[in-house]
């Protein structure tokens, strides 16, 4: 059985167990969140051998070459000496400057970052609390707005990070951030391409950033947003989005309520069903899908079947770990 060394601690990792599970069993506290290789919170480095190839999937080439890997994807095949990433390389310091409830369960959290940071609206960042608890949140603001980051955090009933962010986290508090990650963002260069954006709940966050970024950069093709929620409270920022619709002739906003209603101005049904039924063909469209993992997975398939090219489908599934 492969032996693992982390600092002074040594333990065995059975072949059917991920390194992350073995670390947690050994009571070693390391950051993690989605457990599915998406959020990259459990990034580690192997100091003695090359880590298994599967554990490096999705990492940048530069990180792969330095033997970084994801603990949640790593089934050790030989003895490994591992370490947490160098804090200097990954830590971005930020401070909370604004908290605002956009809906009863959605917090707008605005941070000012003090360390240089490169990002695109729509990418995600791992936020880390003082005790190491780490969660991913999508960037809802474009980089042109100075040293600011905006996140929309949905409060889950038992959620550790989201409850802390809604409650205890105070204005002026420091928060540590990772570098921005993910490829769900607006790429300039094809200004006339039609864009279809579908999001549920706080899945609006990256889409809101992407839409503002695209409009600021002079995108002149159709930009059609479908935002879905069970009830009207969940369709936050609807006034801002309707104003944006008045200002930009190429922007359309469809607010979708899945519960039965007779409210004027709201479509009846699930956002992805309505969006996909609305377009005869998605050939030539760029499609962004964000929020509930099942909605994202289903819509990816449907968008492809409706003619969107795989390279034009960008997805951000908000996977919550167990
Ligand atoms: C790439 C990426 C981007 C993300 N972006 C955002 C974002 O912009 N905004 C945002 O709000 N979240 C986002 N998330 C999700 C976020 O990272 C956290 O997983 C989420 O906030 C829950 O963390 P928590 O610590 O509050 O809950 P945890 O303490 O981790 O508990 C989560 C628990 O809640 C359960 N659960 C999962 N979904 C629900 C649900 N719908 N209702 C009730 N319980 C549920 C899970 O099974 C789990 O047991 C993103 C995730 C990823 C991977």
Q: What ranges do the domains of the chain cover?
A: 3-87, 90-177, 195-317
State the architecture of 90-177 in CATH terms. Beta Barrel (2.40)
Q: What pLDDT is attached to residue 90?
A: 57
- Banded model confidence at residue 115, pLDDT cuts 50, 70, 90: confident
Give the Å distance between the CA of 162 and the centre of ligand 1: 8
Q: What pLDDT is attached to residue 89?
A: 53
Q: What pLDDT is attached to residue 179?
A: 85
Topology at the third CATH level for domain 3-87: Ubiquitin-like (UB roll) (3.10.20)
195-317 matches 3-87 in CATH topology: no
Pick the CATH number of 195-317 from 3.30.70.890, 1.10.300.10, 3.40.50.80, 3.40.50.150: 3.40.50.80
Q: What pLDDT is attached to residue 31?
A: 87
Give the Å distance between the CA of 154 and the centre of ligand 1: 8
Q: What is the pLDDT of residues 131-181, one digit of tens each?
A: 889 999 999 999 988 899 999 999 999 999 999 999 999 999 999 998 888
Q: What pLDDT is attached to residue 13?
A: 95
Distance CA 46, CA 73 (A): 14
Which range, of 57-71, 195-209, 228-242, averages the lowest pLDDT?
Answer: 57-71
Q: What pLDDT is attached to residue 294?
A: 95
Give the Å distance between the CA of 66 and the centre of ligand 1: 30
Question: What's the mean pLDDT when you consider all of the chain?
Answer: 93
- Which residues sit opposite 229 in a β-bridge? 257
Ligand 1 probe mutation, 292, 320, 321, 322, most atoms within 8 A of CB: 320
Give the Å distance between the CA of 261 and the centre of ligand 1: 28
> Which atom of ligand 1 has the smallest separation from the CA of 106?
11
Q: Is 89 in the pocket of ligand 1 (CB under 6 A)?
A: no
């Amino acid at each position: 059985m492969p032996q693992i060394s982390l600092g002074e601690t040594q333990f065995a990792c059975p072949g059917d167990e991920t390194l992350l599970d073995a670390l947690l069993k050994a009571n070693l506290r390391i950051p993690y969140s989605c457990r599915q290789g998406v959020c990259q919170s459990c990034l580690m480095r192997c100091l003695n051998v090359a880590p298994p190839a599967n554990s490096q999937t999705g990492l940048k080439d530069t990180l792969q070459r330095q033997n970084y890997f994801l603990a949640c994807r790593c089934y050790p095949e030989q003895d490994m000496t591992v370490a947490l990433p160098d804090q200097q390389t990954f830590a971005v310091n930020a401070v909370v400057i604004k908290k605002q409830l956009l809906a009863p369960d959605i917090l707008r959290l605005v941070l000012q970052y003090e360390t240089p940071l490169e990002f695109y609206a729509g990418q995600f960042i791992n936020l880390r609390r003082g005790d190491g608890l780490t969660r991913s949140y999508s960037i809802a603001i474009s980089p042109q707005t100075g040293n600011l980051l905006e996140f929309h955090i949905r409060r889950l009933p038992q959620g550790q990070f989201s409850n802390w962010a809604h409650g205890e986290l105070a204005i002026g508090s420091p928060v540590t951030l990772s570098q921005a990650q993910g490829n769900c963002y607006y790429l300039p260069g094809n200004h006339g391409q039609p864009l279809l954006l579908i999001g549920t709940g706080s899945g609006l966050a990256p889409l809101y950033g992407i839409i503002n970024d695209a409009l600021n950069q002079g995108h002149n093709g159709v930009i059609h947003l479908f935002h879905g929620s069970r009830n009207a409270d969940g369709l936050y920022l609807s006034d801002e989005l309707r104003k944006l619709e008045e200002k930009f002739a190429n922007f359309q906003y469809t607010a979708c309520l899945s519960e039965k209603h007779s409210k004027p101005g709201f479509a009846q049904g699930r956002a992805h069903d309505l969006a996909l039924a609305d377009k005869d063909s998605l050939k030539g469209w760029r499609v962004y899908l964000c929020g509930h993992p099942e909605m994202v997975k289903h819509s990816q398939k449907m968008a492809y079947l409706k003619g969107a090219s795989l390279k034009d489908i960008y997805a951000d599934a908000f996977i919550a770990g167990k």
